[in-house]
Chain A
Amino acid sequence: MLRQIEGSQAVAETVARCRPQVVCAYPISPQTHIVEGLSRLVKSGDLAGCEFINVESEFAAMSVAIGAVAAGARTYTATASQGLLFMAEALYNASGLGLPIVMTVANRAIGAPINIWNDHSDAMSQRDCGWVQLYAESNQDAVDLHVLAFRLAEELSVPVMVCMDGFVLTHAYERIDVPGQEQVDAYLPAFRPRQMLDPHEPLTIGAMVGPEAFTEVRYLAHQVQRRALDRIPELAGAFEAGFRRPAGGLVRPYRCADAETVVVALGSVLGTVKDTVDEMRDDGVRVGVLGLGTFRPFPAGALRQALGRVARVVVLERAFSVGTGGIVSADLDSALTGLPQRRYTVVAGLGGRPVTKASVRAVLDAATADDLEPLTFLDLDRSTVEAVR
């Protein structure tokens, strides 16, 4: 049933319907409304059988989650920005131990300068930590991805981040169909951990592994991520069959069939890009959009298939690797190695700067004329740059 509801509240309600047994929380904007919502649901008794733990840091939040899931509880937490970085050591630990934690990342910039607004620097900075990263295009998508994330995580024993744009999605009120309890129960079976701490069957978890087996551990982790590349489309299909709407997936093409130029983007900016592309189509420009729903594992094969025949690719991304360039772009370059197309990177919307249709149109017009620098900063204010010099 569609309801007018804030994105964060919808996520909180959806997570509750996934029946988590331990939720740990540390406040950081713009993630806070989600755990506030879960706190209310646990305290009121609406979410029964769940322990809600207020911890003293994000590092502790992830650590509590590690302990909880290792002891057999379905476990959830949420964070953003500096909080994700403060967790970094524990993120690697959770994935290294194969612990299926689900976490929302309400994407936000990383300081300095301190900035609470949206971009993808936080999650992108943890791209190598072994977690699956799913990106939500809308609040409906965000809600649905959480249900899918629990199933994916628990099937593969791998932790999953659901990335949703801070403020743009988390604080937006819109019509969302929050999945019903019966629907979720039908899709998401009870948690059966691959291994757990149990006095009846004592296990040692977290042994010290030296050169003789460390490569093999990493190789196996890579194989799990490759299995996720197969499993994500299957789970997306199962979701669509059960909930009668699409959710998740590796890549999502929009008006790509005959496109000469395709914009690759991820997150909520896809809405703006699609609107822009609609206008350009009206003007007869053969342009399309490819939404990236999964960033880790990186769907290189799906991207190569989707983009193999287009003349040019414009990657529009809300993150940036200082000293190198686009982060998604670098992965995409690797995926498209040997293809003759022209590729452009547009770094957009850093630190919450609005990405407008007019600005997107301007760079796409330049790109389609092949009159665009390989790396462009959307709406860069030259006067500020010059003033600092």
Chain B
Amino acid sequence: MSAVKFYQTGSLAVGNRLLPIEQRSVQATGDRTNAITCGHRACQGCGEALGARVVLDAAMRATGGKLIVVNATGCLEVFSTPYPESAWRVPWIHSLFGNAPAVASGVAAALRARGRTDIRVLGQGGDGGTVDIGFGALSGMFERDDDVLFVCYDNEAYMNTGVQRSGATPPAARTATTQAVGPEPGNVFGQGKSAPLIAMAHEIGYVATATVADVRDLERKVARAMELHGARYLHVLVPCPLGWGSATSETIRVARLAVQSGLFPLFEAERGEVVAVTPLRGAPVPVEEYLRIQKRYANLFSPAVRADVLARIQALAERNIARFGLCRAEES
């Protein structure tokens, strides 16, 4: 990673023009692939479209353009390939909702059999396709250590079908199937799963989390994943203005606050062990700052402020901060 210190407290993507070309982010260079190109039909401010663009351009750079992409059913698939149009400038296949990891395994097997291991395979899907309906296939791909990087673009619910709860939906969040009504509005506490931690339990070569708020970090993790072979997993938090009720101009800020509050820890793991953590920049932000700007959490602030529920969410953030040591470097 670049040793250059960035002084901006805004987007980490700015400042590229001050760098020599070889140190610039892939997104800042003119020869990027534009793997998912303009004209697709994602919503304004879509975190997933942005995440896919950053991830695939970085993967294309890392593989010298020798990449095959397998996509699960979901927003990303629907908004990118309305026949007869396609936004993809990479070889790309969409099969079903729950089988993208297995299809990717099949592509990797075919490439091995054909002696084309120079071509790499990237599978991708949303959180529904990854942590819920595709989870068996994902676990199978992991345990066989198939040569696939699987990327989950996590927007924390089934956005394509109209914002229903998934196994990645956080507590208290309103979705169409966890409505903001009753004494405990929104999604319940004590449910859901951490796909990155479960991926680590498979002891695969590389697991990392990232967000669209830090393009350089995301690109670096893709590049690192592509240095390795075998099963790898990248879990990218991608805010969804539609489902989260956040302003379309705030996608990056929302993602950054998820990290800065401690709710979404950034880490890398190899063979089941955490090998690197991205510390918070300065003191943790109270979760309230993250939650208030999203209408899915409106039930926490209206008609009355639910201090009890906010405290429970704050406790989740603090558990992450303690568990991953998110404050250690910056506070000293």
Contact = CB atoms under 8 A, between A and B. Distances in A.
Interface of A: 21-22, 24, 49-51, 53-57, 59-60, 63-73, 75, 89-90, 93, 97, 197-199, 201-210, 213
A66 B108 CA distance: 12
A93 B102 contact: no
Nearest to B105: A64
Contact of B103 (A49, A66, A89, A208): A66
B86 A97 contact: no
Nearest to A70: B93
Contacts of B137: 56-57, 59-60, 63
B88 A93 contact: no
A49 B114 CA distance: 8
Contacts of A60: 99, 102, 105, 136-137, 140
Max chain A C-beta neighbours (<10 A), residue from B85, B89, B114: B114
A49 B115 CA distance: 9
B303 interface: no
A157 to B, nearest CB: 15
B78 interface: yes
Given A21-B113, A64-B105, A66-B106, 16 more contacts: A22-B113, A49-B113, A51-B113, A59-B99, A64-B109, A67-B103, A67-B108, A68-B109, A71-B68, A71-B106, A73-B113, A89-B96, A97-B95, A203-B91, A208-B77, A209-B83
A54 B144 CA distance: 8
Interface in B68-97: 68, 70-71, 77-78, 81-86, 88-96
B114 A72 contact: yes
> Which DSSP category, helix, strand, loop or mixed, fits chain B's interface?
mixed
B277 interface: no
A89 B119 CA distance: 28
Contacts of A197: 68, 91-93, 107
B247 to A, nearest CB: 28
A204 B81 contact: yes
B81 A63 contact: no
Nearest to B140: A56
A201 B91 CA distance: 7
B65 interface: yes
Contacts of B14: none
Interface size on B, as a range, is 35 or more
Max chain A C-beta neighbours (<10 A), residue from B77, B94, B104: B94
Contacts of B82: 207-208, 210
Given A59-B99, A208-B81, A71 B111 contact: yes
A287 B95 CA distance: 49
A202 B105 contact: no
A53 B102 CA distance: 10
A203 B84 CA distance: 12
A199 B110 contact: no
B295 interface: no
B92 A205 contact: yes
Interface string B120-143: 000000000000000011011001
A57 B133 CA distance: 13
B98 interface: yes
B84 A207 contact: yes
B92 A204 contact: yes
A205 B106 contact: no
A56 B78 CA distance: 28
Contacts of A201: 91
A198 B66 CA distance: 8
Contact of B144 (A53, A68, A208): A53
A85 to B, nearest CB: 15
Contact of A21 (B70, B90, B94, B114): B114
A109 B139 CA distance: 30
A93 B94 CA distance: 10
28 contacts: A22-B106, A24-B106, A51-B113, A55-B105, A59-B98, A59-B136, A60-B136, A63-B105, A68-B107, A69-B106, A71-B106, A73-B110, A73-B113, A90-B99, A93-B96, A199-B65, A199-B68, A199-B91, A202-B90, A202-B91, A205-B92, A206-B81, A207-B94, A208-B82, A208-B83, A210-B82, A213-B83, A213-B84
